[in-house]
């Protein structure tokens, strides 16, 4: 029987980087899954910062809406002089009790850091004759893991700045207090212990210097990195081609995601700020590698 060509090229799309109210996203996991279903996405990963608490809810909604949910997490790591290198762990055993204990410590440190940031920002607001903000307001919208994004949203809500972008530029960046960064080799080992695969998130956030980025990615691959987020919102097409070439050179998986948080009007789940289209077959390759990692540990 002759098979019709129609339908053969119909690709299914996914989004492997989303945030919920369990970290600094605006929507609870169930709503994110519903949005993904509405967009026709076949799979999403919930990758909250330092948190796995939303994964079970996402999976329940995934069954309801027919969307595959990949359990994931986003760690903030450090290496040499580089701070805040974001590392995604996929297919992790999110019910691991030691992970829960470690994340509780991260959460406590984030709380203390947020209090210190609010104090610094208030000193600045006072000089500028503007209304102060309170830690309690921040805590009210960041109920699980508090990030600077929650503080930025409070500054927008009280009229101190016009946008989250301005809040970072004028307050969050100058008044930052370092959070606890996970040394990248330890974070990679933790993801491996959890039988997951480790992917470098939005690599251009580390540096735009391509030769530095290439050296770093080569070194991370040596420590056990499995993949890089080639398709991301910080990239232009040319950057994606560069990252793709690095992935091929170092034998790394190619992944992608919108980093959807739900507050930016111009970032949508699945397509990011418009140009993303992440094919399902990248997830198949990740699943294969995750299976191999489970066997060889």
Query: Which positions lie near ligand AMP, rule CB under 6 A?
Result: 24, 49, 76, 147-149, 164-165, 168, 179, 261
Name the minimum Å distance from CB 210 to ligand AMP.
Answer: 22
Site string for Mn ion, 220-259 (x = CB under 5 A): ---------------------------------------x
The stretch near Mn ion (CB under 5 A) out of 24-32, 51-59, 113-121, 235-243 is: 24-32
The residue among 88 and 243 lying less far from ligand AMP, judged by its C-beta, is 88
The residue among 67 and 149 lying less far from Mn ion, judged by its C-beta, is 149
Name the minimum Å distance from CB 226 to ligand AMP.
Answer: 21
Of residues 55-74, those binding Mn ion (CB under 5 A) = 74
The residue among 150 and 192 lying less far from ligand AMP, judged by its C-beta, is 150
The residue among 226 and 229 lying less far from Mn ion, judged by its C-beta, is 229
Name the minimum Å distance from CB 209 to ligand AMP.
Answer: 19
Name the minimum Å distance from CB 36 to ligand AMP.
Answer: 19
Name the minimum Å distance from CB 99 to ligand AMP.
Answer: 18
Q: Which residue of this chain has its Cβ atom nearest to Mn ion in the complex?
A: 86
DSSP string, the chain: -PPPSTTTT---EEEEEE--TTTT-SS-HHHHHHHHHHTT-SEEEE--BT--TTHHHHHHHHHHHT-EEEEEEEEEEEETTEEEEEEEEES--TT-HHHHHHHHHHHHHHHHHHHHHHHHHHHHHHHTT-----HHHHHHH-SSS--HHHHHHHHHHTTS-SSHHHHIIIIITTT-----PEEHHHHHHHHHHTT-EEEE-SGGGT-S-HHHHHHHHHHHHHHT--EEEEE-TT--HHHHHHHHHHHHHHT-EEEE---B-S--TT-BTTTBTTT--EEHHHHHHHHHHHHHHHHH-
Of residues 143-182, those binding Mn ion (CB under 5 A) = none
Contacting residues for 88 by C-beta, under 8 A, at least 6 apart: 16, 17, 45, 47, 72, 73, 74, 75, 198, 199, 200, 201, 229, 255
The residue among 28 and 132 lying less far from Mn ion, judged by its C-beta, is 28
53, 86, 103, 164: residue in contact with Mn ion (rule CB under 5 A): 86
Q: Is 24 in the site for Mn ion (CB under 5 A)?
A: yes
The residue among 125 and 216 lying less far from Mn ion, judged by its C-beta, is 216
Interface residues toward Mn ion, by CB under 5 A: 24, 74, 86, 201, 259
């Amino acid at each position: 029987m002759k098979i019709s060509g129609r339908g053969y090229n119909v690709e299914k799309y996914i989004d492997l980087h989303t945030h919920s109210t369990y970290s600094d996203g605006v929507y609870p996991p169930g709503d994110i899954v519903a949005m993904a279903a509405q967009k026709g996405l076949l799979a999403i990963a919930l990758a909250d910062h330092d948190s796995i608490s939303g994964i079970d809810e996402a999976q329940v909604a995934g069954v309801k809406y027919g969307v595959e949910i990949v359990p994931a997490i986003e760690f903030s790591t450090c290496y040499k002089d580089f701070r805040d290198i974001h590392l995604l762990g996929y297919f992790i055993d999110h019910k691991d009790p030691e992970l829960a204990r470690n994340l509780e410590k991260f959460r406590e440190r984030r709380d203390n850091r947020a209090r210190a940031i609010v104090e610094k920002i208030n000193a600045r607001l006072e000089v500028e004759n503007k209304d102060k903000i309170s830690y309690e307001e921040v805590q009210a919208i960041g109920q699980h893991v508090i990030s600077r994004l929650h503080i930025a949203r409070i500054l927008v809500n009280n009229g101190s700045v016009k946008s989250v972008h301005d809040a970072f530029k004028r307050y969050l960046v100058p008044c930052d207090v370092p959070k606890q960064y996970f040394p990248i080799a330890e974070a990679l080992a933790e993801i491996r212990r959890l039988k997951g695969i480790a992917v470098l998130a939005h690599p251009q956030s580390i540096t735009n210097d391509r030769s530095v980025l290439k050296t770093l990615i080569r070194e991370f691959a040596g420590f056990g990195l499995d993949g890089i987020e080639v398709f991301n919102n910080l990239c232009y097409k040319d950057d994606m081609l560069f990252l793709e070439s690095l992935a091929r050179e170092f034998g790394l998986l190619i992944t992608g995601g919108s980093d959807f948080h739900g507050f930016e009007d111009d970032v949508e789940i699945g397509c990011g700020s418009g140009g993303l289209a992440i094919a399902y077959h990248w997830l198949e390759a990740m699943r294969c590698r995750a299976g191999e990692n489970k066997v060889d540990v």
